[in-house]
Amino acid sequence: MRTYLLFAFVGLAACGDVVAKDPGCQTAADCTDPAAPFCVENKCQAACAGAGDCTDPERGVCATDGACVGCVANTDCDAAAPVCDTGERACRGCEKDSECAGGICIEAEGTCAADAEVAFVTMMGTDAGACTRTAPCATVSFALSVSGTRRIVHVLGGSLSSAAMNFTSDRILDGEDTTLSNSSGTSITITAPAKVTVEGFRLTAPAMATVPAILVSGAARARLHNLTIGGDGGLAVNATNSANLHLSNSHIGNLGLNNPMHVYCPNSTALIDQNTFEMAIVGDNGTQCELTVSRNRFESTRDGSVQLQSGLLVMENNLIIHRDGFNDSISLGNLRSGSTIRFNTIVNTTAVGSDGSALSCNSVGVTVTSNIFAYNSGHPITGTCETRYSVFDDRAVTSAGTGNQSVGIDTIFANRAGGDYHLSATSSAKANAEPGLNMVKVDFEGNPRPNPTGGPADSGAFEAP
C-alpha cells in the first residue's frame, strides 16, 4: 500500500501542479481585453448578447450588431429625452411636432405633450367648453380661463387674430409657426410671478418706438423660442424691472431705424442664445442689464449690433457681419468688472477700407480676448479696453497687446468673398486663443472647443476641425 501511494505521488509531481478548471468570466469586469469586453455565457466576447451585458447607464441597450447603445427605438427613451436619434443611437429631446406621438413638441424643453396637458385654440374655434383638440376655442384668453391645471395652450394652424394676451401664471404658449396679428400694440405681456414659454410664432413689432411686441416685466421669467419678429420699426422684446429673459433660436429682423434697441433689457437679466439678428440691436442704453450674448449671427448695414452702456456683459461665440464702411458694430461703456468679450468673429464686408469701429469699449476691467477683428478698418478698436490673443487684418493701425496678430484679411477665412468665415487651413487664428481659456466648451456651431481636446483653442467664433 505504501509503495502504491508513493508511486501516485511521484506520478502527480511529474505531471506538474494541479490547476483548477478556469470558470471563465462572471461579469464584464473580468474581461480586460478591449477587443472582447462582454461576458457572455462565461466567455469574454466582442459583442453583447442582451441588455444585461451593457453596464454603462448611458448605453444600456444591446443593438442587433452587438454594440451597446443608448437606444434603438423611442420606446427605449424616457419623457425627458423622448426621441431615439437613429444616427447617434442616443436619446434626445424632440425638435419638431412630428417626432411626438401626440403631435405636440415643446421644443424649448425637448419634451412631447399629451392632449391631457393641452388647451387647444384655432382661428375657426368657438369660445366655449373645455378647448379640446376636437372642439378648440377661438382665443388664447378664453383658453387660459378654462385651462385649469393644463399647462399648455397650443394654437392650431398658420394664423390667429388675437387681442393682447396677458400671462400672470405659469404657462406654455405653443404655435405651429403661427402668425399672430394684433393691431392694438403689444401682443404678449408676461407679468410676475409668471414663468412662461412662448414658441412657434410670427409677430410684428408695433411701429411705436416704446411699445414692444412682447413685454416681460417685474420678476417674471420668459423663455422665447423659435419666434420670428419683424416689422416696419419698433421694439421686438422689452424685459424690464428685474425680469429674466431667455431668447433662443429666433429671427429678429428688419425693424427699422426709429428705435435705439430692438431687444431691450433695462434692470433685468437676459440670455440671448443662437438667434439671427438682421438690422436689429441687442442691449440697454444706460441701466443695469446683465446680458449674455452667445452663438448669435448678426447682420446689418447700420450702426450697432450689441450696445450696453452699463451692467454686465458676457459675449462669446458670435458672428457679426456689417456691410457698410461707416458702421460701428459693438458699443460698450461703464460695464462692471467681470464683463468679457471672447471668441467672436467681427467682419466688415465692404471692398474699400472702413472708417467704422468693430468695438468701441470704454470700460476698465473688461476682458477682450481670442477674437477676430477682420473689419478692414484703420481703427477697429476704440476706447480703453485692452485686447489680447486676437487676430486683426493688416489694415489696422496696431495690433498691440499680448498674443495679438496682424495678417492679410483674406488669409484668415476659408472664403471671405463668398461669406464663409470658417478658418482657412493656414489661418493665423488657429491655436491662437488665450492659453488656459477653457471655460467655453463649444464654438458657434456647437462643435467641441478646443479641437482636439487638450490642445490650444482657436481665436474667433469657429473652431477648426
Q: What letter represents residue 386's amino acid? A: E
- Number of Cα atoms under 13 Å in the Cβ half of residue 159: 4
Do residue 84 and residue 166 come from a single domain? no
Same domain, 88 and 160: no
- What's the pLDDT band for 215 if we cut at 50, 70, 90? very high
Coil/strand/helix, residue 99: helix
CATH number at residue 392: 2.160.20.10
Going by C-alpha positions, the residue among 406, 318, 307, 404 that lies closest to residue 357 is 307
Residue 1 has pLDDT above 70, yes or no: no
Task: Give residue 350's Cα distance to chain centre.
Answer: 30
Is residue 252 included in any domain, yes or no? yes
Quote the domain boundaries for residue 292: 156-423
Q: What one-character DSSP code corresponds to residue 458?
A: P
Same domain as 245, residue 343 = yes
Residue 162: partners with Cβ closer than 8 Å, 6 or more residues away: 139, 140, 180, 181, 182, 187
| E strand intervals along 310-459 | 312-316, 319-322, 330-333, 340-342, 345-348, 359-362, 367-369, 372-374, 381-383, 387-388, 391-393, 405-407, 413-415, 420-423
C-alpha cell at 68: 451597446
The span from the CA of 141 to the CA of 121, in Å, is: 10
Residue 332 pLDDT = 95
Judgement on whether residues 32 and 166 belong to the same structural domain of the protein: no
Note whether residue 443 is domain-resident: no
Alpha carbon distances (Å) from 318 to 293, 342, 444: 8, 9, 6
> Is 179 in the same domain as 53?
no
Phi then psi for residue 197, to 5 deg, are -110, 130
Q: Which of 92, 111, 129 is the last residue of a domain?
A: 92
Q: Are residues 222 and 336 in the same domain?
A: yes
Residues in contact with 8: Cβ distance below 8 Å, sequence separation at least 6, in sequence order: none
Q: How far apart are CA 250 and CA 262, in angstroms?
A: 13
Q: What is the DSSP string of 247-272?
A: EES-EEE---SS-S-SEE-TTSEEEE
User: Do 75 and 194 lie in a common domain?
Assistant: no
Which of 63, 92, 121 is at the close of a domain? 92
What percentage of the chain reaches a pLDDT higher than 70? 93
Same domain, 41 and 174: no
Task: Calculate mean pLDDT across residues 304-320.
Answer: 96
Instruction: Return left, alpha or beta for 446; rule: phi > 0 is left, psi -120 to 50 is alpha, else beta.
Output: left
Residues 48 and 195 in one domain: no
C-alpha grid cell, residue 166? 396677458
Number of structural domains, the chain? Answer: 2
351 and 216 co-located in one domain: yes
Residue 272 located in a structural domain:
yes
- Maximum Cα interatomic distance, the chain, rounded to a whole number of Å: 116
pTM for this model (two decimals): 0.88
Q: Does some domain include residue 380? A: yes
**What is the distance between the alpha carbons of residues 378 and 364, in angstroms, rounded to a whole number?**
23
- Give domain status of residue 348, yes or no: yes
- Whether 109 is covered by a domain: the verdict is no
If asked whether residues 165 and 246 sit together in one domain, one would say yes
Phi, psi of 6 (to 5 degrees): -65, -40
pLDDT of residue 257: 61
How buried is 453 (Cβ within 10 angstroms: 0-12 exposed, 13-18 middle, 19+ buried)?
A: exposed
Any domain includes 313: yes
- Out of 77, 92, 107, a domain closes at 92
Under DSSP, the state recorded for 147 is -
Percent of the chain past pLDDT 90, that is, above it, reads 71
Cell numbers linked to 388: 489680447
At 36 the pLDDT is 87
Judge whether residue 397 has pLDDT over 50: yes
CA nearest neighbour of 356 among 374, 344, 332: 374
pLDDT value of residue 406: 94
Tell me if 322 is assigned to some domain.
Answer: yes
Could you tell me if 32 and 174 lie in one domain? no
Each residue's pLDDT tens digit, 6-46:
434 344 444 444 444 456 888 778 888 888 888 887 889 88
